[in-house]
């Protein structure tokens, strides 16, 4: 059966690309809070301060575990080694993950077996953390610059398996006006409103106006965050 793909009707542009740079977002956020008029330009120090607030906000959003930030990372298991560095000092060298969502042990033949995640308390309750065997559990200690993934038990001598990790990288900051936002394009309005909400107290915006601005900012963030999720069927059954 042929697949029907609907095409836009009418005189549309035919493109979905949206070219928006960092300073356009920052200037709009400043206009929202009355920092300057649309017929003028913000002062250089206003731009500099607002860009700093923007990047601080983006760093704080790195912990959200957005789907587009998630990657699969392979780590080679080493016989007798329980701790594996995840970050710039690790192998491979990556951004420090905020989370390790899943971990599979992959054999030379390509078969993957899920490992059971542990909380910090669970890991602390393991009596002998250096015991040898086939890794079946893991605990991730995120730390600050480099995270540490701990597996239990330690791989046996001669183990050639690898770990396949489902991790999230951190959001890139906007270091230059020519940088692209590390977000899908539909997030640009959300970024603008949330930046304006963060800048509003510094510019003396009235409490009522700040509350209204914050409400819109939170609504856009909540709507996009809830849409950023895996879409899959839900199956119900009885465990035997």
pLDDT tens for each residue of 93-149: 999 999 999 999 999 899 999 999 999 999 999 999 999 999 999 999 999 999 999
Q: Is pTM beyond 0.95 here? A: no
Task: Please tell me the total number of residues recorded for the chain in this structure.
Answer: 240
Same domain, 113 and 56: no
Beta strands 154-155 and 132-133, pairing class: parallel
Look up the domain containing 44 and give its range. Answer: 36-64+172-225
Are 148 and 83 a contacting pair, CB within 8 Å?
A: yes
Give the C-alpha separation, 210 to 216, whole Å: 10
Whether 135 and 74 share a structural domain: yes
Say if residues 146 and 96 touch (Cβ distance below 8 Å): yes
130 & 213 share domain: no
Q: Which residues 6+ apart lie within 8 Å of 216 measured at CB?
A: 193
Q: Are residues 71 and 58 in the same domain?
A: no
Q: pLDDT tens digits for 159-190? A: 789 999 999 999 999 999 999 999 999 999 99
Burial class (CB in 10 A: 0-12, 13-18, 19+), 165: buried
Question: What does the pLDDT read at residue 232?
Answer: 58
> Domain count of the chain?
2
Judgement on whether residues 148 and 176 belong to the same structural domain of the protein: no
pLDDT at 234: 57
């Amino acid at each position: 059966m042929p697949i029907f793909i609907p095409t836009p009707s009418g005189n549309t542009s035919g493109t979905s690309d949206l070219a928006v740079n960092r300073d356009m977002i920052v200037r709009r956020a400043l206009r929202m809070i009355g920092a300057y008029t649309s017929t003028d330009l913000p002062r250089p120090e206003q731009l500099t301060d607002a860009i700093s607030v923007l990047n601080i906000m983006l760093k704080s959003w790195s912990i959200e575990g957005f789907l587009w930030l998630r990657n699969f990372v392979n780590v080679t298991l080493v016989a007798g080694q329980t701790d594996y560095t995840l970050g710039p000092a690790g192998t491979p060298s990556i951004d420090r993950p905020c989370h390790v969502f899943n971990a599979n042990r992959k054999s030379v033949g390509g078969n993957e077996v899920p490992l059971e995640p542990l909380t910090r308390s669970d890991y602390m309750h393991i009596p002998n953390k250096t015991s040898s065997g086939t890794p079946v559990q893991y605990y991730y200690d995120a730390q600050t610059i480099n995270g540490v993934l701990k597996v239990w038990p330690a791989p046996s001598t001669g183990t050639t398996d690898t770990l396949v990790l489902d991790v999230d990288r951190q959001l890139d900051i906007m270091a230059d006006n020519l940088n692209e936002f590390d977000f899908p394009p539909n997030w640009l309005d959300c970024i603008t409103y949330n930046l304006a909400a963060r800048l509003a107290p510094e510019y003396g915006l009235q409490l009522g106006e700040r509350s209204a601005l914050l409400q819109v900012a939170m609504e856009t963030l909540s709507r996009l965050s809830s849409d950023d999720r895996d879409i899959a069927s839900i199956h119900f059954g009885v465990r035997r």
